[in-house]
């Protein structure tokens, strides 16, 4: 027997603005979806203080050698997988430092494994690798996904810090989180279809959190991606272009500096901006924790 819980999560309520959406022409349907989507950025803006605190805790954890673990199911879990996967090529994050755990495993990336979200024990098992100082970040639109609850409870028992991202200010899992980022996106255009506004909000929050963390860890110089992994032709061109943009030096000179630095863009950047040679640049960056601005002060 299915029991309908009360009160409903905001994402499960009916949206009065879209009652007649199934009788509207295509253009009007799209206008309604677009107008609802336009409210998401404002909902995210309202939780920036909590997001900032989450960023600072994550920076402290990664800087201390600990790890960030995401836990989610369905759309929420896929958003987490996407965020974790993109950090290595974009910012050179070492394998295992940011990990996403999706209910149902890799199969659930392309095929819905809906029952997996109800498996509390699987969430707890997924959190077994965590240790004290790690960050466990649950992502769930409803704020009550059992898989995420199992993971957060187990992570907390292991001494990890816990974060929760939901679209429900009254999330039942909130007591398990040190910080609850509750983005109140309200009812969806289609009731309960959390891949829409709630999913968009999750993408915005995860993008903002991981990008801010990478910036704070020194993985950029100004707004340029210094730690990008140049694994294909397009990215190798972008790497040289980044050096040109940062220094104003011709592309040929930047390419030569990059070659001399064995492809290490930060080292090449430092040699181009100062009189340091490759060895001096490497030592300065190591002493500065990889932060270019600090290394520049050291080598003048």
DSSP E strands, the chain: 68-72, 98-102, 135-139, 161-166, 179-182, 220-221, 224-225
What is the C-alpha separation between 91 and 239, in angstroms, rounded?
12
H/E stretch holding 60 reads: helix 48-63
Q: Quick count: other Cβ atoms within 10 Å of Cβ 141?
A: 34
Q: Would you please indicate which residues are annotated as catalytic (active-site) residues?
A: 86, 117
Closest among 168, 145, 217, 230 to 43, alpha carbons compared: 168
What is the C-alpha separation between 164 and 137, in angstroms, rounded?
6
Contact 160, 134 (CB under 8 A): yes
Residues whose CB is less than 8 angstroms from the CB of residue 20 and which lie 6 or more positions away in sequence, other chains included: none
């Amino acid at each position: 027997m299915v029991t309908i819980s009360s009160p409903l999560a905001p994402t499960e309520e009916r949206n009065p603005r879209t009652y007649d959406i199934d009788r509207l022409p295509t253009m009007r349907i799209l206008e309604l979806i677009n107008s609802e989507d336009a409210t998401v950025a404002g909902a995210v803006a309202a939780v920036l203080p909590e997001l900032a605190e989450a960023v600072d805790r994550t920076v402290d954890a990664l800087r201390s050698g600990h790890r960030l673990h995401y836990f989610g199911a369905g759309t929420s879990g896929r958003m987490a997988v996407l965020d974790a996967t993109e950090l290595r090529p974009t910012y050179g994050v070492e394998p295992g430092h940011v990990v996403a755990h999706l209910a149902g495993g890799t199969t659930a990336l392309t095929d819905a494994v809906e029952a997996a979200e109800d498996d509390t024990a699987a969430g707890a098992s997924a959190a077994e690798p965590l240790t004290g100082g790690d960050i466990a970040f649950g992502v769930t639109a409803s704020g009550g996904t059992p898989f995420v609850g199992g993971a957060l409870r187990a992570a907390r028992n292991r001494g990890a810090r816990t974060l929760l991202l939901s679209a429900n200010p009254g999330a039942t899992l909130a007591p398990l989180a040190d910080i609850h980022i509750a983005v109140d996106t309200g009812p969806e255009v289609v009731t309960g279809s959390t891949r829409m506004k709630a999913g968009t909000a999750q993408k915005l929050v995860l993008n903002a959190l991981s990008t801010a963390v990478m910036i704070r860890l020194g993985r950029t110089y100004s707004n340029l991606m210094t730690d990008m992994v140049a694994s294909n032709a397009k990215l190798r061109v972008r790497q040289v272009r980044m050096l040109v943009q940062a220094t104003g030096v011709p592309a040929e000179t930047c390419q030569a500096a990059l070659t001399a630095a064995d492809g290490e863009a930060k080292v090449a950047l430092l040699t181009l901006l100062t009189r340091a040679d490759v060895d001096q640049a490497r030592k300065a960056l190591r002493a500065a924790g990889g932060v270019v601005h600090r290394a520049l002060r050291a080598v003048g």
